[in-house]
Amino acid sequence: MLDRTQDISIAAQAWLDDFERTLSRPDPATLGPLFLADGFWRDVLALSWNLQTLAGRETIAQALAALASKAEPTNFKIAPNRALPRRVTRAATNCIEAIFNFETAIGRGNGIVRLVPDPADGDRLKAWTLLTALDELKGFEEQLGTSRPRGQAYSRDFRGPNWLDQRNAARAYADHDPAVLVVGGGQAGLAIAARLKQLKVDTLIVDREMRIGDNWRKRYHALTLHNQVQVNHLPYMPFPPNWPVYIPKDKLANWFEAYVDAMELNFWTGTEFEGGAYDEAKRHWTVTLRSADGSRRTMHPRHVIMATGVSGIANIPDIPTLDNFKGTLLHSSRYEDGENWTGKRAIVIGTGNSGHDIAQDLHSSGAEVTLVQRSPTLVTNIEPSAQLAYATYNEGTLEDNDLIAAAMPTPLARKTHVMLTEQSKQLDKELLDGLSRVGFKLDFGEAGTGWQFRYLTRGGGYYFNVGCSDLIVEGKIKLRQFSDINSFVAEGAQMKDGSMIAADLIVLSTGYKPQEYLVRQLFGEAIAARVGPIWGFGDGFELRNMYARTKQPGLWFIAGSLAQCRINSKYLALQIKAVEEGILGRV
Per-residue model confidence (pLDDT) at position 311: 66
At residue 81, the 3 state secondary structure works out as: coil
DSSP string, 308-332: S-SEEEE-----TTGGG--SEEEEG
CB neighbour list of residue 261: distance below 8 Å, 6 or more residues apart: none
- Provide the pLDDT for residue 220: 79
User: Beta strand pairing status for 345-349 and 368-373?
Assistant: parallel
Of 451, 481, 510, which residue is a domain's last? 510
Q: 391 in helix, strand or coil?
A: helix
Query: 327 burial class (0-12, 13-18, 19+ CB within 10 angstroms)?
Result: middle
CA 346/CA 504 separation, integer angstroms? 6
Asked whether residue 157 is assigned to any structural domain, the reply reads: no
Q: Residue 567: give the domain boundaries.
A: 168-312+513-580
Position 455 in a domain: yes
CA dist list (Å): 30 to 48, 75, 406, 450, 484: 20, 19, 27, 39, 63
- pLDDT value of position 152: 74
pLDDT at 233: 97
Non-local (6+) Cβ contacts of 31 within 8 A are 22, 23, 60, 61, 64, 65
Query: Going along 119-187, which residue ranges are E strands?
Result: 124-137, 180-183
Q: How many CB atoms lie within 10 A of CB 555?
A: 22
Q: Give counts: helices (H), strands (E), the chain.
A: 16, 27
Q: How far apart are CA 173 and CA 185, in angstroms?
A: 18
Please indicate, yes or no, whether residues 266 and 347 belong to a single structural domain of this protein.
no
Pair 308, 380 in one domain: no
Specify if 393 maps to a domain: yes
pLDDT digits (tens, 9 = 90+) for 277-302: 999 999 999 999 999 999 999 999 99
Tell me whether the omega of the peptide bond preceding residue 384 falls within 30 degrees of 0, making it cis.
yes
Q: Are 12 and 117 found together in one domain? A: yes
Write out the H or E segment, with its range, that includes residue 529: helix 525-531
Phi, psi of 85, rounded to the nearest 5 degrees: -50, 140
Q: Judging by DSSP bridges, how do beta strands 500-502 and 296-299 pair with one another?
A: unpaired
What DSSP string runs through 439-479? TPPB---GGG-HHHHHHHHHS--EEEESSHHHHHHTTSSEE
* Conformation bin of residue 459: beta by default, left when phi > 0, alpha when psi is -120 to 50: left
Considering the domain architecture, whether residues 484 and 517 belong to the same structural domain is answered as no
Handedness of CA 326, 332, 337, 342 (dihedral sign): positive
Q: In the beta sheet, which residues pair with residue 267? A: 205
Pick from 245, 212, 241, 213: which is nearest to 226 by CA? Answer: 245
Residue 301, CA atoms < 13 Å, CB-side half-sphere: 28
Please state, in angstroms and rounded to a whole number, the distance separating the CA atoms of residues 438 and 420: 25
Give the pLDDT score at 586.
82
- Single-letter residue type at 357: D
Q: How many CB atoms lie within 10 A of CB 313?
A: 15
- For the chain, how many structural domains are there in total? 3
> Among 510, 538, 561, where does a domain finish?
510
Do residues 573 and 453 share a domain?
A: no
Are 349 and 302 found together in one domain? no
Q: Is 146 within the bounds of a domain? A: no
466, 486, 510 - which closes a domain? 510
pTM here is 0.94
CA angle 147, 235, 535 (to 5 degrees): 135
The answer to whether residues 278 and 297 touch, using CB atoms and an 8 Å cutoff, is no
Q: Which long-range contacts (CB under 8 A, 24 or more apart) does 524-530 make?
A: 524/275, 524/277, 527/278, 527/552, 527/555
Residues 6+ apart with CB under 8 A from 541: 42, 52, 53, 55, 409, 410, 411
At 154 the pLDDT is 73
What whole-number distance in Å separates Cα of residue 75 and Cα of residue 155?
39
Establish if 587 belongs to a structural domain: no
Q: Do 28 and 41 belong together in one domain?
A: yes
Do 329 and 230 share a domain, yes or no? Answer: no
The CA distance from 182 to 410, in Å, is 28
Beta bridge partners of 291: 271
- CA-based R_g, the chain, Å: 26
Pair 517, 506 in one domain: no
Residue at 306 is within a domain: yes
- The answer on 376 and 475 residing in a single domain is yes
Q: List the one residue out of 559, 453, 481, 472 whose CA is nearest residue 515.
A: 559
What is the rounded distance in angstroms from the CA atom of residue 473 to the CA atom of residue 349? 18
User: Do 235 and 382 share a domain, yes or no?
Assistant: no
Q: What is the pLDDT of residue 5?
A: 45
How much is the pLDDT for 408? 95
Question: 133 - beta bridge partners?
Answer: 44, 110
Backbone angles phi, psi at 372, to 5 degrees: -110, 125
Q: What is the CATH number of the domain that holds 30?
A: 3.10.450.50
212 occurs within a structural domain: yes
Give the C-alpha distances (Å, rounded to integers) separating 304 from 261, 296, 300, 469, 527: 22, 18, 10, 42, 13
Q: Give me the amino acid identity at 468.
A: C
Q: For residue 206, what is the domain's CATH number?
A: 3.50.50.60
> Is residue 156 domain-resident?
no
**Quick one: 340 and 474 in the same domain?**
yes
Q: How many CA atoms lie within 13 A of 525 on its CB side?
A: 0
**What are the residue ranges in the chain where pLDDT is below 50?**
1-5
Check residue 312 and give its pLDDT: 65
What pLDDT shows up at residue 148? 87
